Amino acid sequence: MTTEECCAENRAATLTRRGLLGTAGAVLGGLAATTIDTRLAFAADRSGYDGDVLVVVSLHGGFDGLSAIAPVGDAEYYRARPTIGVPKNLILDGDGSFGLHPALAPLLPLWRNGSLAAVHAVGQPNPTRSHFAAMEAMENAAPGTDLRTGWLERMLGRTGATAPLAGVAMGSTMPSRLMGSTGAVAMSGIDTFALAGEGKRPMAAALRAMYADAPAHLAAPVLAADRALAATGRVKAAGAGNAAYPKTDLGTALRDVARLIRNGSGLVTAAVDCGDWDMHQGLGPAVAGHRMYDNLAGLAAALASFAADLGPDGMKGVTVLTVSEFGRRVRENSSRGCDHGHGNAMLLLGGGIRGGRVYADWPGLAPDDLVAGDLRATTDYRSVIGELLQRRCGFGSLDDVFPGVAPSRFGLAAAR
């Protein structure tokens, strides 16, 4: 697959996800940029669930974990990346084996206070270099089974939470399988969440009246929409607070996730999409003005703002994790970028995270240690999430979410 073909596939996958969002929204009576799973709209609390709010940030396009969390202690890293490897003198909080990219400086206080960690050499059990296939597999997370739901949808169902806003996909795009084919509630933002035409006409009241005596299976979508609108209206009325977020899609989305958490919406899990990580060319050195540096700086600023917005007390009940469909190849290409690879890094943020370190079963970057030129994934990304589900979300067996997967044993988080 050429660079042009794979980048076109990445754009097509994103457009398909937007299409799914728009189509589902139209079915539900004209909700603007909204989809709602009717199974999730019949209560106003978390139905006894007392685990962490789980926020999943999808870094789609193929995140380069070897730049973000640089393996500076592996001499092969600099042989493979003579122009884009992060120099040791620019590394933040290096421990001799790994260090943070300098663009992650906004996260340094969280790293040092122990609420931010990384896990390296993670990946999928059946790797592919196709954006669409890899995203689909990552969001479904049940290879070899007949499950067609998203893992976050299964996680949400396991909690028993049924509040209208228990599960939210926030932002302009939505993982098509992570919360299922329609999702729980997907919105572009709290302040834009509304019925099309409301204001000029009393659309919500008219729909309630129209379906008041309808059979339950017909009325359910309208009732779900109405309750979600009411719950969002209460959050909207409470305001956005004074926290300063970067003026980016990710910053705006995380600001609204924080609003849901802070204002008692009953949120259990949120999915946020953060794109533009497909850097076949121009990934660049670790200097401002180059793609990887600027993207990491934006990611770091948004996550740091989110943590500051909620504050240490608010973050005690929140866990944020990043995932990406695959990593990048170890060796840089002639365009100062990296093509699609396999092994990758995840970031973990939260009050219960045992941070300030990189967790890894490191396989090494010597040619004989690689798999077809890629970092070997020694840890299944699902096992990392599984450990968090058990330690922070009160889960026992993971079979309902990740069939056949055992949790990692890194000790990533304190038990809640």
* Torsion sign over Cα 251, 337, 19, 166: negative
A 10 A CB-CB count for 22 gives 13
How far apart (Å, rounded) are the C-alpha atoms in residues 126 and 124? 6
Average pLDDT, whole number, for the chain?
87
Burial of 26 (0-12, 13-18, 19+ CB in 10 A): middle
CATH fold label, 3-392: Alkaline Phosphatase, subunit A (3.40.720)
The Cα 144–Cα 101 span in angstroms is 36
> What local confidence, expressed as pLDDT, does residue 21 receive?
28
Lowest mean pLDDT among 45-49, 89-93, 293-297: 45-49
Q: Where are the alpha helices (DSSP H) in 141-176?
A: 151-159
Token pair for 203: 């659309």
Q: Which of 40, 65, 253 is nearest to 152 (CA)?
A: 40
Tokens, residue 108: 């340094």
Cα 194 off chain centre by: 24
What pLDDT is recorded for position 35? 45
Helix (H, G, I), strand (E, B) or coil at 380: strand
The whole-angstrom separation of Cα 339 and Cα 335 is: 10
Share of the chain above pLDDT 70, in %: 84
pLDDT of residue 200: 60
CA-CA distance, 236 to 146, in Å (whole number)? 40
Q: Render pLDDT for 222-245 as a digit per residue (tens, 0 to 9).
A: 777 788 888 999 999 998 888 899
State the Cα–Cα distance between residues 225 and 207, nearest whole angstrom.
Answer: 10
Query: In percent, how much of the chain has pLDDT > 90?
Result: 72
Q: Is residue 286 over pLDDT 70? A: yes
Q: So what's the pLDDT on residue 80?
A: 98
Question: What is the domain partition of the chain in residue ranges?
Answer: 3-392
Strands 69-70, 344-350: pairing kind? unpaired
Mean pLDDT to the nearest integer, 151-175: 86
pLDDT digits (tens, 9 = 90+) for 318-341: 999 999 999 999 999 999 999 999
| Helix, strand, coil percent values for the chain (each to nearest 5) | 40, 15, 45
